[in-house]
Chain A
């Protein structure tokens, strides 16, 4: 007998505290602008993140144009190129992916999925968004500052990031970038503490941890990780600001800059790299774990089948989260750190492949013997698996220290991380938006436009990044403004670059279809009803759609079963919502 977290197991505990009356907004401003409702904050986060993401998209077009047609566009000089790649990278990783998954999906889904009325600290939650917006504005200010934004690469490695050979190094660029990150982290901490406390303390009666949907597990674990990892980036930013502004030497050894002896001495550039990647590697999973969680729920719902191996999935999320704190130096195999570290970090890095592979197996085994509805969320989930498996497997090249040596700092790395933490999570974001848009707005997104968007995005992105690996294998380095005449790079590689650029322009243009769909469906979309996907989780069981402030009306929901009672034998329907008492559904003992 295996205890299955479903059905009748366990009695429902009595309420420990009275239901507390929420603060209710008195005006339009406090309802829609300075709102304390997590659902409004979620939409604010999402819209800001998508807007700044569009800036990153345009920047990627510009850099791809330069790579395909070097010298053709006079306004893209080397300075601009490095500013474009830096801003593109930082926006995508921090201001789009982190903010959208945690601030956007986290805010919308956590209270609804665990059966709470709102986040536990609504005021701090509101502040979190406005501080995030401030961080975005500081970041954007870089484009208008004298000297432009920093062009140090998103990794901001000193000493070059604060010296004159790098755009923005001696101007405003690097100062604005560091300030923006510091502000972002402050804002995130307010939101992050909220998400963690809400999951731990705000769950409805009966919602045990092992009954939570994997979406909540993914976002929760990612938030805990972010709260532990962002401080490393925070101190690194503060120290670099001191080096740049006050003349300290945390990261600055003795340096001769363009023939001039600088007044620094004794600092360690590699210390910054350790701090950066102690944040930077967990950051990969801060983006990936919410995607893992969400995609599990998309697959389960649209295949009408319980997620396979739920408990293993939960433990895999937790183990990946913990292990991701001891793998950071795999970004630094050729950084000049003591090479003996390579043994340790290669081993931990390859070990993390095991729980990750388990997740992949369980997704495809959920499809096995399912009743697969090829809805848009399901299509995006399938596309996620393809790109994630691809990107995850190339990670085994780069994680295996000696194989990393020839590939490090080449286009192989660029292709790998775009596939695994760019394309794959963004496909989940799209799938999730097609899935939850009906709950947020009460209307369905248009299906035809959705299919056009899906095929362009999935096939286009694969065509961009799959061939790019082979440029890296050939030896083409990353972060080259132009390749120039290089003996080992054949002309055919340039043809491939043009192909990749054309695909990138196409995929970018395809996103306009999506944006149009978001706006058009808001007014013209088909009415969705409360539970269009016939899903089990609590957010689909709200009395109103879109849910009102307070989410649940008079009475909080009570949870009687896990989140995955799909196609239970003997049940009248192929799903049983989590708040349906055991006697109303089917009570079963499952043996395995």
Chain B
């Protein structure tokens, strides 16, 4: 009987823990409320299955535990029941998968008006690059990285000269404007992770990865690294500040472009031709 009681307690306790737990996701600050909704659907479906299966088990143990003289039934198969359960499961799985795939399609389809913002990671800090007046990011490569040129911009690419460079500082974004986050690493794997945005993506040396989102409320949010990148992994932090547009323009005006940066470090860049 203790077994039955404990199985019931596990069901009740797990549900109560879920309902009463103070540990829940952070208030969202991006457009990805659909991700939260899909998560809630998944919680409902899986929760019901968990409660049903474990309760049924508890009932079986209660009802069919051994007593002298008992004999088990002999029923090798029940094709109808088996197919019924299999199809029911398939329906439940489809109910989770279908909305998931729809949202995934949105997640990977970047809107045309999304502004590119580059995040460049290294052990163990974050750098950022915003397009200058031309609205384009210049070419950059790990091979061109040096002390004076930490993001490895190609000095012969004119579209990169006006790029705004932020080394190890904080990134500002205007609220309500979709951004396409382009991710680049110069050494090992990292992962750009802001819990409030719900999105994250690995950064891979030699590749450019991306995701997009629209910040939906102003505030200051912590950037964490979510892919093990060596002993400094937990200390690799940064900040994203989501501003009203006017504040954002003020901040942007205070940042240095690639040209200004290289000029101050002594080596004048030469535009191609």
**Residue ranges of A at the interface with B (Cβ–Cβ < 8 Å):** 2, 4, 6, 78-79, 82, 151-153, 155, 157, 159-160, 163, 165-167, 169, 253-259, 261, 265-270, 303-306, 308-312, 334-336, 339-340, 342-343, 346-347, 350-351, 353-354, 357-358, 360-362, 364-365, 367-374, 379, 382, 385-386, 389-390, 393-394, 396-397, 400-403, 405-406, 408-410, 459, 462, 466-467, 470-471, 473-475, 477, 479-484, 486-488, 490, 492-493, 496, 564, 566-569, 574, 590, 592
Contact = CB atoms under 8 A, between A and B. Distances in A.
A566 to B, nearest CB: 6
Contact of B186 (A256, A268, A354): A256
Nearest to B107: A402
B60 A372 contact: yes
A410 B77 contact: no
Contacts of B222: 486-488
A429 B30 CA distance: 45
A78 B236 CA distance: 13
A2 to B, nearest CB: 6
B262 interface: no
Nearest to A588: B74
A566 B72 contact: yes
Given A167-B231, A370-B64, A477-B225, 20 more contacts: A160-B188, A165-B232, A166-B230, A256-B186, A265-B143, A305-B73, A309-B78, A335-B202, A336-B207, A339-B107, A370-B72, A371-B66, A371-B70, A385-B53, A389-B49, A390-B14, A397-B39, A406-B35, A462-B10, A567-B71
Nearest to B229: A160
A265 to B, nearest CB: 8
B49 A567 contact: no
Contacts of A486: 222, 224
Interface in B230-255: 230-235
A375 B31 CA distance: 53
A467 B17 contact: yes
A590 B74 CA distance: 10
Name the 5 nearest CB pairs between A and B, nearest first. Answer: A253-B206, A165-B230, A475-B195, A336-B209, A160-B188
Interface string B175-210: 000000001001111010101101111111111010
Contacts of B199: 405-406
Contacts of A490: 22-23
B100 interface: yes
Interface stretch (B81-89, B126-134, B161-169, B263-271): B81-89
B26 interface: yes
B96 interface: yes
A358 B77 contact: no
B97 A258 contact: no
B97 A590 contact: no
Given A336-B201, A483-B234, A374 B77 contact: no
User: Which of A389, A477, A493 has the largest number of chain B CB atoms within 10 A?
Assistant: A477
B226 interface: yes
A374 B65 contact: yes
Contact of B142 (A256, A474, A479, A480): A256
A256 B38 CA distance: 40
B119 to A, nearest CB: 13
B257 interface: no
11 contacts: A2-B77, A151-B231, A254-B143, A311-B77, A371-B70, A373-B66, A374-B3, A405-B200, A486-B222, A566-B72, A569-B74
Given A165-B229, A487-B222, A403 B42 contact: yes
Nearest to A361: B85
Interface in B120-173: 122-124, 141-143, 145, 147, 152
B115 interface: no
B195 A371 contact: no
Contacts of A312: 77, 82
Interface of B: 3, 6-7, 10, 14, 17, 21-26, 34-35, 38-39, 42, 45-46, 49-50, 53-54, 56-57, 60-61, 64-66, 70-79, 81-82, 85-86, 89-90, 93, 96-97, 100-101, 103-105, 107-108, 122-124, 141-143, 145, 147, 152, 183, 186-189, 191, 193, 195-196, 198-207, 209, 222, 224-235
Most chain B CB neighbours (cut-off 10 Å) among A151, A382, A486: A382
Of A257, A408, A459, A475, chain B has the most CB atoms within 10 Å of the CB of: A475
A361 B49 CA distance: 11
Contact of A390 (B26, B50, B201, B202): B50
B64 A358 contact: no
A409 B82 CA distance: 36
Contacts of B56: 364
B234 A480 contact: yes
B186 A470 contact: no
A268 B204 CA distance: 9
Contacts of A310: 76-77
B103 to A, nearest CB: 4
B61 A351 contact: no
B46 A372 contact: no
Contacts of B103: 402
Contacts of A592: 76-79
A406 B25 contact: yes
Contact of B79 (A2, A6, A487): A2
B53 to A, nearest CB: 5
Nearest to B94: A350
B1 to A, nearest CB: 10
A520 B137 CA distance: 71
B107 A405 contact: yes
B89 A408 contact: no
B65 A339 contact: no
A400 B187 contact: no
A254 B50 contact: no
Contact of B191 (A334, A406, A470, A567): A334
Interface-central residue, A165, A310, A496, by most chain B CB under 10 Å:
A165
Contacts of A253: 142, 205-207
Contacts of B93: 350-351, 353-354, 396
A303 B124 CA distance: 57
Contact of A305 (B34, B38, B72): B72
A466 B25 contact: no
Contacts of A372: 60-61, 64-66
Contacts of A493: 23
Contacts of A79: 231
Nearest to A488: B26
A17 B35 CA distance: 62
A479 B228 CA distance: 7
A266 B235 CA distance: 29
